[in-house]
Structures are given as C-alpha cells and as structure tokens.
Amino acid sequence: MTSIAPPAAQLDRPASPARPPASPIKPTGTARQGLFATRRPDAWWIEPTIVAIGFGAFILYSLFSSLVWEPVFHVPYEAQGYLSPFFSPLIKPDWLPWWFSPAILILWIPLGFRTTCYYYRKAYYRAYFVDPPACAVGEPTIHSRYRLEAAFPFILQNIHRYFLYLAFIPLFFLWLDAFLALRQEGVWRIGVIGALMFLNVALLTGYSLSCHSFRHVIGGKMDCFSCSRGALLRYRAWERATWLNIHHLRWAWASLISVAVTDLLIRLLAIGVIGDPALRF
C-alpha cells in the first residue's frame, strides 16, 4: 500500500543536485537481538571458531618468533645462508639495542597489508568482533550508534592500497633471498628449505597480486576496457588479477602458513634439530 512517487522536484533532472539526496534510514524490523541469537540449526559457529584459533595461533607464533625468540632465547633467525622471511630485508645497524628485534623495522608492512586486507577484514570482523559472528546470527548490542569503517579508526582501512605498494618491497627481497640461498660458500644447493623459500615467496606474490586493491588499480577503476590499446592491455591484466582474486582467501591462508613454516624450519635448522637435506654441486 505504498506510494513511491519521487518528490516533484526530481522531474526532468538527470544529474543529481549539488548535495546528493539523502537516503532514508531503514525502519526497524523484527530481528531477534542479542549475542548469537538465531534460528539457524546448523553449526554456523564452526567457521568463525576455526578462523579465530588459526589467526590466534599465527599471531602468537609470529610475535614470539619475530620479537622474542632471538633476543631472549638466542635462537638465530638466519641459518646456513637461509634468512627467516620475518626478517627480510635485514636492517640491523650496530646501534640497535640487544632487545630490539630488526623484524620490527619490516614487519609492520605485511602486518598492515594483512590487517587492511579485504579478506582478513571479513574474517576478523566475524571471528573476533562478532560483527556479525555468522550470517543472520545476532550480535552483542553494545554499539547502537554503529559507524565502523565510516569513522576513525576503521576508516584507515581505506589506505590498504599503500600497504600493497609497500608490500612489494619485502616481496622483492624475499625473491632475492630465495635466489641467493641457492648458492652458499661457492656451492650450489637445491634443498628442502630452499624450495620452501621459493614456495613461500610464490604464495606471497600470489597473495599480493590477488589483492582487491591491486585488481582495482591495474584496471578495475576503468569504465571502458576497449576504448584504447592501453585500456585493452590493462583489461587483460585485470582479467588475470580477477582470476587470482577469486581465490584471495586461499592465497591468504596458504601464504600465512608458508611464512610460519619457513620461519620455523630455519629456526630448527639453526639449533640443529633438523638438517637441510639438499643436492649440492
């Protein structure tokens, strides 16, 4: 029984006025409020729980490994020419105090990149902020004036693209590390840890190139793909980025795991728990 006529002023005016018309606020519905309120009988809580545990484990491990392991327990982050990915590129001037891990100078880049990543945002908003915990599942009603990414601090998520640009710097050094590690003290070697370093940097590259911001910058921002030769080239690149982007979630998890495993193996090699099976010539 709703009449949906526009105000008469809108007639015959294709372009919008100087201030865009305000959208009306949605009238209140009948959704049950309260944390985890839902009629879903399925196990909706499994996914956020796995995500919360997975991220938690990685965060704890990476903090321990990058900040504490070497300064406190003297476990080196470099072994037999293999450098842990948490520390690349290694910047270590002599005046650094003993407790200051050089990883801090680097790690803020991938950390910022992943924190503002569109996939990770979805995952941690759901798993940690329960905002929402799962689709059509209730939330704690603590913030009735919801602003999220429209206000500080979360409005800063919009600088994701700058972390993307910066992320190519450590990425370059990680490729360099992987290649340099092929040769140690005049001997070529092809081994498990070396292969893992290549795999790791490949996954990290896949993660970076499947980024939503990259997809936008490389071509998605254009309205017309076939208007010029340049546009067509960017279209081809955008197509590839789209193909990678569909699996952004997988890239994110795979590269997260590969970084941690690479670091762990290098540490274990350093303290002699494992060796480095490799072909040497």
Partner 1 sequence: MPDAHLKVFRGRPGEPSEFVDFDVPVEEGMVVLDALHWIQGHRAPDLAVRWNCKAAKCGSCGAEVNGRPSLTCKTRLSDFDLDEPITVEPMRAFPLIKDLVTDVSWNYAVNRTITPFTPPENLPQEQWRWQQRDVDRVQEFRKCIECFLCQDVCHVLRNHETERAFMGPRFLIRVASLEMHPIDQVDRRQYLKDSGGIGYCNITKCCTEVCPEHIKITDNGIIPLKERVADAYYDPLQWAWRKLRGREATGAGTELPVLPAPVGAPPPPAAATTPTDATATESAPAQTAEPAAAGTGPARPPRRVRTTKSARQTAGRKDAARAPRGRRDGGAG
Partner 2 sequence: MAISGFETHVHDVLVVGAGGAGLRAAIEARARGASVGLVCKSLLGKAHTVMAEGGAAAALAHVAPDDNWKVHFRDTMVGGKLLNHPRMAQLHALEAPDRIRELELWGAVFDRTADGRISQRPFGGHTYPRLAHVGDRTGLEMMRTLQDKAVHSDVDVYMECTITHLITGPGRIMGAFGYWRVTGEPVLFPAKAVVLATGGIGKAYEVTSNSWEYSGDGHALAYLAGAELIDMEFVQFHPTGMVWPPGVRGLLVTEAVRGEGGILRNKDGERFMWKYLPEDRRQEYAATDEEAERWVEVTAQGRSSEARRPPELSTRDNVSRAIYTEVKEGRGSPHGGVYLDISYLPAEHIRRKLPSMFDQFKELADVDITRGPMEVGPTTHYVMGGVRVDAETGATTVPGLFAAGEVAGGMHGANRLGGNSLSDLLVFGARTGAGAAAYAARNAASAYVDPSQAYRAARQLSAPLEREDGEDAYAIQRDLQAMMQSLVGIFREEADLREALGRLTDLETRWQSIKVTGGRMYNPGWNLVFELRNLLTVSRAVTLSALQRTESRGAHSRVDYPEQDDRNWGVINSVICRGPDGAMMVARSGVPPMASELRGLLGAAH
Residue 114 vs 215, nearer CB to partner 1: 215
Q: How far apart are CA 148 and CA 143, in angstroms?
A: 10
Least separation in angstroms between residue 13's CB and partner 2 is: 9
Residue 11, SS3 per DSSP: coil
Of 8 and 18, CB closest to partner 2: 8
Of residues 67 and 249, the one with the C-beta less far from partner 1: 249
Q: State the residues that interact with partner 2 by CB under 8 A.
A: 1-6, 8, 10-12, 226
* 220, interface contact from partner 1, partner 2, none, CB < 5-8 Å by kind: partner 1
d(CA 74, CA 68): 9
Distance CA 148, CA 72 (A): 39
Residue 194 β-bridge partners: none
Give me the least distance between CB of 2 and partner 1, in Å please: 4
Closest distance between partner 2 and the C-beta of residue 220, in Å? 18
Complex with partner 2: residue 184 or 242, whichever CB lies closer: 242
Q: Which does 21 bind (CB under 5 to 8 A by kind): partner 2, partner 1, none?
A: partner 1
Residue 11: contacted member of partner 1, partner 2, none (CB under 5 to 8 Å, by partner type): partner 2
Nearer to partner 2, 2 or 33 (CB): 2
Least distance (Å) between residue 134 CB and partner 1: 8
CB of residue 3 vs partner 2: minimum separation in angstroms? 6
> Can you give the three-state secondary structure of 181-235, one letter per residue?
CCEECCEEEEEHHHHHHHHHHHHHHHHHHCCHHHHHHHHHCCCCCCCCHHHHHHH
- Per partner kind, with CB cut-offs from 5 to 8 A, the member of partner 1, partner 2, none near residue 189 is none
The entry of partner 1, partner 2, none that residue 8 binds, CB within 5 to 8 Å by partner kind: partner 2
CA angle, 100 as apex, 183 and 263 as ends, to 5°?
40
Nearer to partner 2, 11 or 22 (CB): 11
Please count the residues of the chain: 281
CA separation, residue 171 to residues 106, 107, 110, 205, 262 (Å):
11, 12, 10, 7, 15
| Beta-bridge partner residues of 280 | 189
Phi, psi for 137 (deg, rounded to 5): -120, 140
Tell me the three state secondary structure of residue 24.
coil
41 binds, among partner 2, partner 1, none (CB under 5 to 8 A by kind): partner 1
